[in-house]
Structures are given as C-alpha cells and as structure tokens.
Amino acid sequence: MTHQLKDGGQVLNVGMLARVEGEGGMHIEIKDRQVVDVKLNIFEPPRFYEGFLRGRKYTEPPDITARICGICPVAYQSASTEAMETICRIETTPEIQLMRRLLYCGEWIESHALHIFMLHAPDFLGYESVLEMAKDYPDVVQMALRLKKAGNDLMELVGGRAIHPVNVKVGGFYRMPTVAELEALRPDLARGVEDSLAAVELVAGFDFPDMEQDYTYVSLRHPDWYPLERGTEIVATSGVRFPVAEIPQHIEEFHVEHSNALHARFDGATYFVGPLARYSLNFDQLTPRCQEAAVKAELGETCRNPFKSIIVRTIELAYAFEEAVRIIDQWRDGHPPSVPVAPRAGEGVGASEAPRGTIWHRYRIDDDGVIQDAQIVPPTSQNQASIEADLRLAAQQWVDLDDHSLTHRCEEAIRNYDPCISCATHFLDLRVVRDGAGKPADAGAGS
C-alpha cells in the first residue's frame, strides 16, 4: 500500500510480503525524492527455542532445532551436532561425514529448486505467482517440481523423512542407507544435473537490474570442497579468516525496535552471508561443469549484484546434484552409522552453510550433558541489515518509477535473499526489568 504524507512525503508500505517464508513487511519513506527511512518489519512472533533448549540433554538439539524450519532443518541439525561433538571431543568417521554431506545435498536441492522457480522466477518473468507462470511455462514448472522431488526423496531416504528428519543424531545416524536404496535414486539425481545446468542458461537470460553492493561477504571455507555441511574456517572478502570456534568473537547480535529477530554485525560492520558470498569466496571449489556454467552466464568469479543471486543459486543447485551422484557412486555397505558420544563439560561452536547462508550454533553443557546455554544464529537474521541497505539503494535508484513499480522492485530486492523469517525469529529473549517497587520499569530484547 502506498500513501502520501501531509508534508508531501511518500510511504511505500507492504504489510505482508509475498513469496517469502514467514511473516514480515516492508516500510519505506521518501521525502523530496530522497529515501529517509527503511525498515524490514519482521513481526512474526518469536518462538524461544534457545530458552527451552536450556535444561535439555546434549543429545536433543538435532531433533529440537530441526523443528525451527521445515525447509532447512538439516542446517540446524548439522550445526548442532558439530557443536556437541566438538564439546565432547569426538571425531566421526569419514563415512558419517560423507552421508551428512549427502543429506545436506538433498536439502540444498529441495530448497534452491523451491526458491528459484516458485518464489523468484515469477519476478523476472512478470507474474504474480508460479500458478500464473505455469500457464505459459508448463515445462519449466514441471521440471522444477521434478527437481524438488529429487531433493525430498534424498532427504527422506537419508534423513528418515523429508521434513524435520529423524535419522540424525549426535555422533552420526541411527541407520545408514544401503547401496541398493541409494542406487534407486541415482537416475533422478543424474537427470537433475542436466536439468539444473540447463536452468542456469534459462535464468541467466533474465533481465537483471544494474545494482551492486560492496558488502563484506562471509562464508565457511574448506580446503577440499565447496562448503555445505561444514567447513574448517570462516573467510571474508575483507581478508579476515579464523577457525569456526572463534565465530562468537567476530559476530555480535543486537536488537532493533522494528524486528522480532536480532540483527548482527561482523567485526562491527554490516555483512552478507548466502549464495553470493559462498560463490565468491569458494568459486575454485566448484566442479568444472559448474564453473563452466558460471562463465557462460557471464558471472565472473565474484558476483556483487543481488538480483543475480538466482543464477548463483541455480549453479549451486547443479553442484548439489553433481555432489549427490558422486557420493552415491562411491558408497559401500557396512559402515557403522554412528560413534559413541559421552558428555563432558564445555562450550563449542558448530557451523554449516544453509541454503540461505552460514548458520552457527553455540552450546555450553555441564558434566552430565545438560545444556546450560544455547545460541542459534541463522542466515536471515544476519542478513537483515544488508536487506535494508538494498531496499534503501533500490528505492533511491528507482525513485522515479510509479508507486506500483517501485514497490514491486523493492519487494524483489527482499526476495533476492530468499529470507526465512520463521528461522530468524526463534531466538528473541524477552527481559522485564523491574523498579524498586517491583513494577515493570523497562522491557527489552537481546541474545
């Protein structure tokens, strides 16, 4: 909704954003053709996951945190298991790590396919929804459903079910899939490689607005592969790099009045996590076919245009399919599904690359394995400040558009991030400060 202020200013207000996961709105004020205020209003109620993790056993976070999101539950399971295994000083086997990576491939496939074709492509093709788009592009939508199903099938086999997997535990899995079960999925995954590489050509042909931001990109990094389920260090385009264990020393969470999700700073500044950051900091770890697809799409080894994130996601989609096929082809039966993990007092950090960007967990447990403190920092919360900066730049850059077109362009700027608002609001910590008479004197929020 757009309306004029008494002083001649203009307000662009979207009460409920479309084609994003969760509940949020957009508020932009313009005066004398200058953007004076921008807010990404996240009003979805907080769900207090960090609060009720305290007092639970160290074995429970993989099952509890998976419920934070139905689209990216594996991201939470991966970060939580790594954190607990770090505390307990446990090394899992290469086979367990490989199967965790395969499960993560399934999540990337289903999540990226959903966003690329169902949520983001309609913006570039001029449709309000994928339902309208399907009338003119039935083959594309059918391909998208096929790709997403391949990811769901992989998650169901390895994780026990496609939504909120139940086969993941601290130390590994309850059960390993067999070669025969994995081979049954291989044809659809192999087809997915070709379909997704063809999709890169499709989305690269979209008409992209000319907009770039010089954010600090932050991502996991691993010396041997493109980061998914884990990395050995955090790297940034600023040149900073450090072990995963040091993440809390560099990332600070803080509360803003208009959001039920905490914002974050990296070394005191706004930063960006997600496909553009992963791609730009790990291009050399992509497969040759994915690198070739990126070159044909004229991306270069670094991409700074947030509207082109749809191309990068499609390249990552192809990578996930290729990686899934590679793992299946080398899998053999007979590997133990888990290693024993005994509790010990300590604090640890785990991180993984969710489809939307780096996610990290920090836990502190006692000698009995009871959780004393928990901190969960998902990508959408970390990206709120950069989303608002993009909104400010987009609104200013296209201020001469009519109200409808400008509002739509700003909504597109938000959808570039594929925000998962439900993930972002799980950690609000409500505090009531009372005065000497016992009356509430102040209320705030923080981590």
Helices (H), 43-178: 49-53, 61-65, 73-87, 94-113, 121-125, 130-136, 138-159
**Is the model's pLDDT at 43 over the cut of 80?**
no
pLDDT confidence bin for 41, thresholds 50/70/90: confident
Average pLDDT, stretch 330-358? 97
Three-class secondary structure of residue 272 per DSSP = strand
Structure token pair of residue 418: 């594929």
More confident residue, 12 or 367: 367
Q: Can you give the pLDDT at residue 8?
A: 55
pLDDT confidence bin for 408, thresholds 50/70/90: confident
Alpha carbon distance 395, 12 (integer Å) = 10
More confident residue, 433 or 210: 210
Share the mean pLDDT of the chain: 90
247-298 tens-digit pLDDT: 999 999 998 888 878 889 999 999 999 999 999 999 999 999 999 999 999 9
Which percentage of the chain shows pLDDT scores above 70? 90
User: Nearest Cα to 162, choosing from 213, 113, 94?
Assistant: 113
**Lowest mean pLDDT across 302-316, 324-338, 415-429:** 415-429
Check the CA dihedral 350-352-354-360 and report its sign.
Answer: positive
**Lowest mean pLDDT across 32-41, 164-173, 280-289, 326-335:** 32-41
**Enclosing H/E stretch for 350:** strand 346-354
**Is the model's pLDDT at 312 over the cut of 90?**
yes
Full-model pTM: 0.90
**Enclosing H/E stretch for 348:** strand 346-354
Q: Can you give the pLDDT at residue 7?
A: 54
Q: Can you give the pLDDT at residue 377?
A: 94
Alpha carbon distance 201, 196 (integer Å) = 9
**Is the model's pLDDT at 427 over the cut of 80?**
no
Q: Determine the distance from the C-alpha atom of residue 383 to the mean position of all C-alpha atoms in its chain, rounded to a whole number.
A: 10
**Is the model's pLDDT at 330 over the cut of 70?**
yes
Check the CA dihedral 267-270-274-275 and report its sign.
Answer: negative
How many beta carbons lie within 10 A of that of residue 255, not counting itself?
15
Pairing of strands 241-243, 34-42: unpaired
90-106 tens-digit pLDDT: 999 999 999 999 999 99
Classify domain 49-212+261-380 at the CATH topology level. Answer: Cytochrome-c3 Hydrogenase; chain B (1.10.645)
Q: Can you give the pLDDT at residue 404?
A: 83
Residue for token pair 């836990």: 363
Q: Can you give the pLDDT at residue 429?
A: 38
Q: Can you give the pLDDT at residue 376?
A: 94
At a CB cut-off of 8 Å and minimum separation 6, what does 318 contact? Answer: 193, 196, 197, 199, 200, 289, 290, 293
Q: Can you give the pLDDT at residue 18?
A: 67
How many beta carbons lie within 10 A of that of residue 382, not counting itself?
29
Compute the chain's Rg from CA coordinates. 22
Please state, in angstroms and as integers, the Cα–Cα distance from residue 270 to each residue in 58, 363, 380, 389, following that order: 33, 25, 13, 9
Q: Can you give the pLDDT at residue 21?
A: 65
Pairing of strands 2-4, 10-14: antiparallel
At a CB cut-off of 8 Å and minimum separation 6, what does 211 contact? Answer: 305, 306, 307, 390, 393, 394, 397
- Helix axes of 309-330 and 94-113: crossing angle, nearest 10 degrees: 140
- Helix axes of 288-296 and 309-330: crossing angle, nearest 10 degrees: 160
Q: Can you give the pLDDT at residue 424?
A: 57
Average pLDDT, stretch 394-402? 90
Alpha carbon distance 136, 129 (integer Å) = 12
* Strands (E) located in 366-439: 371-377, 429-434
Average pLDDT, stretch 34-44? 83
∠ CA 394-202-198, rounded to 5°: 140
Which percentage of the chain shows pLDDT scores above 90? 72
DSSP one-letter string for 303-345? ---GGGHHHHHHHHHHHHHHHHHHHHHH--S---SB------S
pLDDT confidence bin for 12, thresholds 50/70/90: confident
Q: Can you give the pLDDT at residue 425?
A: 57
**Is the model's pLDDT at 438 over the cut of 60?**
no
**Is the model's pLDDT at 439 over the cut of 70?**
no
Domain range annotation of the chain:
2-46+384-434, 49-212+261-380
